Amino acid sequence: MQPFTHHGTRAGQQGWIGLVVILLALAIVAILAKDALKQYGLGSGGAVATKAGTPGERVHAPGAVDAGGAGQGAAPSAPAAALERARGVEEMVKRQADEQAARGDGTTR
């Protein structure tokens, strides 16, 4: 009796071709993700070159921070603004739930 061998058949090669295709797709996705992260400033790329500009231009530049801290008219940073919006939505939802409970929507006994 001869042992069953799988030398060079198409069925044996299809598994390897599939793995190569998956690895190629993963490499493409990794390259695209790296480029997207760099574009958003989250990648580990080099520092973005900025020009000095005049003091007035530096104050109005995005991400500019005053040496003395934030002034009265300073806009909040993006994460803080998003947090405040989320708190505002939370308060609105709570208020609406309280109003609906006070009205009695007919579901209580």
Other CB atoms within a 10 A radius of the CB of residue 39 amount to: 10
What's the pLDDT at 49? 55
Task: Say if CB 52 and CB 59 are below 8 A apart.
Answer: no
- The Cα 5–Cα 71 span in angstroms is 78
pTM, entire model: 0.32
- Give the integer Cα–Cα distance in Å for 67 and 56: 14
pLDDT at 84: 86
pLDDT-derived band at 41 (thresholds 50, 70, 90) equals confident
In the predicted model, is pLDDT for residue 66 greater than 60?
no
Decide which of 8 and 84 is more confident. Answer: 84
